[in-house]
Amino acid sequence: MLRARGGTDQALQRAFERDRPRTTLIFERVERERSLQARTRRRVLSMLALSATCLVGLARASCPGIHVTILNIRNSIGMVDCALFDSSSGFPTDTMRSAMRLTAMKVPERTARCDFEDLPAGKYALVVLHDENMNGRIDYNWLGIPREGYGFSNDAHGTLGAPSFEKAAFVYDGKTLELSVSLRY
């Protein structure tokens, strides 16, 4: 109980009770404003992040290089590996030792994109593998048919095996080149 000098306890208690709702309302209003400011700040930051992502995507597409969109990915399990070859040596099976450039990424929402930048003009071929079990190689069934997704530049097909470097080869002029590779399972 509060006591005032020279006053009654009841009068002081009534004054306190009378001012309590006003004080509570002020605190509630301040909290609502803070919450609104925080939500607005989060919205602005998320819009800025989305804008920055879009700008990075636009900048990437306009950068000189080979930009490959991977199509027909069966699921979002595992990794997609892209290997860029500049000669027939090791094409298409010896990607780890013979590929000029390698990229690997997790598969977000059944889409993938490989970007190869800072490349000299020349003749290249591309191998794309969907390594679903992430063992670093393509798996085959007992007949020798791949169990995981694979694809080649120019959507090249081989006769009873992988296509040759010449069938998958394309010419890159040193500028921006957009390609797509469809995976087969």
Q: pLDDT in tens for each of the 185 residues of the chain?
A: 445 455 566 666 666 666 666 556 666 666 666 666 666 666 556 555 545 544 455 444 568 999 999 999 999 999 999 999 999 999 998 888 899 999 999 988 888 999 999 999 999 999 999 999 998 888 889 988 889 999 999 999 988 889 999 999 999 999 999 999 999 99
Among 115, 152, 146, CA closest to 131: 146
Measured distance CA(171)–CA(152) in Å, rounded = 14
Angle at 156 between CA 150 and CA 184, to 5 degrees: 30
Cis amide prior to 92 (ω within 30 degrees): yes
Measured distance CA(166)–CA(24) in Å, rounded = 79
Pairing relation of β-strands 101-106 and 112-117? unpaired
Measured distance CA(112)–CA(59) in Å, rounded = 17
